[in-house]
Structure 1
């Protein structure tokens, strides 16, 4: 069974609490294993708005990209939330990163060979989040694993 692991560095992808967006094409990470280097990408899906405010739950759409000529089964995807910034890119120290949580992939997803799959992750802004957390950008770092079915 072949395994893939991806970890996208902080700052590569960003999510805006009012309007989520991606910065460029799906980044790809690779890991060497006994079967050579395998790759798959995880990126934000552009144009999918999510309005979060203290106590709100929303949908965070991501795109999984498979560059192999056979399908892969993505078994896990998680998102780590980074320190938020305002529209000018300045840190917002009065809004802790812990104010937002993104749930892990709810179930495995098959991505076709040389194809993509868009999936939804559930995002939450905690009820006790300060008002400073409205309309800021929370950088996300995605990590995932996949196998050849």
Structure 2
């Protein structure tokens, strides 16, 4: 069984209003250049406020001529920015948490599969955290079944 890793960067708008999703680049490990992609699903932005839980949809892409199973996707939340792309020191990145992929996801050869990640804005998040964009970095692993 071979394993592949993917890493990607995206931005998710969390707050009173949700902005459009950003696509992300793909990466591959050194095992024969195999890769899969992780991108935000267009039209499915996440809007959160302090104490809320939501769903962040991602699209897993497989460019190989065989199916894969994405076993894990984890997310690191970066420092938030406002609508003009400026840092917001009054809101820490730790105000938002994204749960890991709940279960493995099969992705067909040369295809895609959508998956949901659960997002949380902590109840004690400062008011400054509303309507901000939190950059997300995705990491994951996949195997050939």
Interval containing the TM-score (normalised by the shorter chain): over 0.9
Q: Unaligned 5+ residue runs, structure 2?
A: none
Q: 1:30 and 2:67 equivalent? A: no
The answer on whether the counterparts of 1:21 and 1:44 sit within 8 Å (CA) in structure 2 is no
Deviation at 1:49?
A: 3.1
TM-score by length of 1: 0.92
Q: 1:105 aligns with which of 92, 101, 106?
A: 101
- Distance in 2 separating the partners of 1:68 and 1:56: 38
The answer on whether the counterparts of 2:21 and 2:45 sit within 8 Å (CA) in structure 1 is no
The answer on whether the counterparts of 2:72 and 2:100 sit within 8 Å (CA) in structure 1 is yes
- Distance in 2 separating the partners of 1:63 and 1:14: 14
- Distance in 2 separating the partners of 1:20 and 1:111: 27
Correspondence for 1:137: 133
Q: 1:29-108 residue pairs with structure 2 within 5 A?
A: 29-33=27-31, 36-108=32-104
Correspondence for 1:13: 10
Correspondence for 2:4: 4
Q: Unaligned 5+ residue runs, structure 1?
A: none
TM-score by length of 2: 0.95
CA RMSD of aligned residues (A): 1.1
Correspondence for 1:148: 144
Deviations 1:25-56 (Å, cap 9, x if unpaired)?
x52111112xx111100011111132200000
For these two proteins, the number of residue pairs brought into alignment is 143
